Amino acid sequence: MIVDELVLNFILLFLLLEIYEVQWQKAETLLGMLARMYAYYHRSVFLFLIAHPTFYFAIGFMTLSDYNIYAVTLFLIKAVDIAVKIVLLKEVFLKKELSPELTLALLTPINKFIPYMGLFAYPSLIYLALS
Say if residues 98 and 106 touch (Cβ distance below 8 Å).
Answer: yes
Per-residue model confidence (pLDDT) at position 32: 96
Output the pTM of the full model: 0.89
Taking only the tens place, the pLDDT of each residue in 11-47 is 999 999 999 999 999 999 999 999 999 999 999 999 9
Q: What is the count of structural domains for the chain?
A: 1
Q: Residue 27 to residues 33, 67, 110, 115, 129: CA-CA distances in angstroms? A: 5, 34, 8, 9, 32
What number of residues does the chain have?
Answer: 131
Taking only the tens place, the pLDDT of each residue in 59-117 is 999 999 999 999 999 999 999 999 999 999 999 999 988 899 999 999 999 998 999 99
Per-residue model confidence (pLDDT) at position 3: 61
Say if residues 119 and 30 touch (Cβ distance below 8 Å).
Answer: no
> For residue 110, what are the contacts with CB-CB under 8 A and spacing of at least 6?
28, 29, 30
Q: What is the pLDDT confidence band of residue 1, given thresholds at 50, 70 and 90?
A: low
- Domain carrying residue 22: 2-130
Per-residue model confidence (pLDDT) at position 104: 94
